[in-house]
A = this chain, B = another copy of it.
Amino acid sequence: MTVRVGVIGAGWIGKEHIRRLTDTVTGARVTAVTDIDAARAAEAAAPVGARVLPDGAALIAADDVDAVLVTSWGPTHAEHVLNATAAGKPVFCEKPLATTAEDCLRIVEAETALGRRLVQVGFMRRYDTGYRKMKQVIDSGRIGEPLIVHCAHRNPTVPESYTSSMAALDTAVHEVDVLRWLLDDEIVSTQVVTPRATSKRFAHLKDPQIMLFETARGVRIDLEVFVNCQYGYDIQCEAVGEEGLVRLPDPASVGLRSAGQHSTEVLTDWVARFADAFDTEFREWIAGVAAGSEPTGPSAWDGYAATVITSATVEALESGRVVATDLKPRPALYGGAA
């Protein structure tokens, strides 16, 4: 059975996922596309033989749409996800699930009322081979109980439109999700320390930032977010446990010896870094939809937690204080006691 996917939002990431669902992932076909810019929708739909629909509601309602992919502008996510849920259709929503905690909670409540999960949020790192191996090692007990995680998220440069709060909301959000999953633990407080800012940035931006998270079990996480590091796109993660440590691998690269140097390449492009993770993410999502099973990836609850934690981190940055995340009790649907 081929899963027929409708795509809401035909910007860069929407087009990238349409290509992925068409060329890389088996068992799926994009049948409908919508966008607030109809021409853009048409341009994305044509090469894959999809039809263009006027808006998200029409697309979600369409008979030839088995599952919905939301890649529109962030503030519109909640509405589309709620509509898809109401229609009983599986929906994959690029991060963020919603831009406010309240909207995230509305989705969580809708799913809870329904009694089964329909929503998956697009945190692709859980599908990266390196992170998966890290999780295997941690879960195996080989490093003992985790105590500390050291992370870095570095990007060569960002455009002027990138603001200081985006360091948490858009950049650190990936670590927030993957660390909650890696540790199977919740982040309960957040703090931001601001080093001297790099001179290689737009003047309004606080860059780099060091974020400090504490989990419910007392694990401490330090995360360097440095979005104008110049030298490359570089993701580092090291978990220190009671008996050892495990470290995320760098991407494999040929080794070169020349001119007095032994060198390997550092990627400069995040798309290349996580291309395989994106493929696996969609492959597993489509397989689940085809099987009629609930999604196993990041849930609406994970989307809610990510929004709450990153928003609290923005507050921590602005106030200079330690901020508690004060998440609601986790409903049983998501493995919680509530």
Q: Which residues of A contact B (CB under 8 A)?
A: 22-27, 129-130, 133-134, 137, 142-145, 147-148, 150, 152, 193-200, 208, 210, 212, 214, 217-220, 222, 224, 226, 229-232, 234, 240, 242-268, 276
Contact = CB atoms under 8 A, between A and B. Distances in A.
Nearest to A196: B218
A323 to B, nearest CB: 15
Given A208-B148, A254-B130, A263-B262, A240 B226 contact: yes
Given A256-B142, A258-B243, A198 B147 contact: yes
Given A224-B148, A249-B252, A264 B262 contact: yes
Nearest to A254: B133
A5 B150 CA distance: 45
26 contacts: A22-B26, A25-B26, A26-B26, A133-B253, A137-B254, A142-B256, A142-B258, A144-B230, A145-B196, A147-B195, A147-B198, A148-B226, A150-B152, A195-B218, A200-B243, A229-B240, A229-B245, A231-B245, A231-B259, A243-B258, A243-B259, A244-B259, A245-B257, A249-B253, A262-B264, A262-B266
Contacts of A267: 260
Contact of A232 (B137, B253, B260): B260
A321 to B, nearest CB: 11
B255 A265 contact: no
Contacts of A217: 196
Contacts of A200: 144, 242-243
- Top 4 A-B pairs ranked by shortest CB distance? A196-B218, A244-B258, A195-B220, A263-B263
A250 B266 CA distance: 16
A22 to B, nearest CB: 7
A245 B249 CA distance: 17
A241 B237 CA distance: 19
Given A150-B150, A242-B198, A231 B258 contact: yes
Contacts of A143: 256, 258
A334 to B, nearest CB: 24
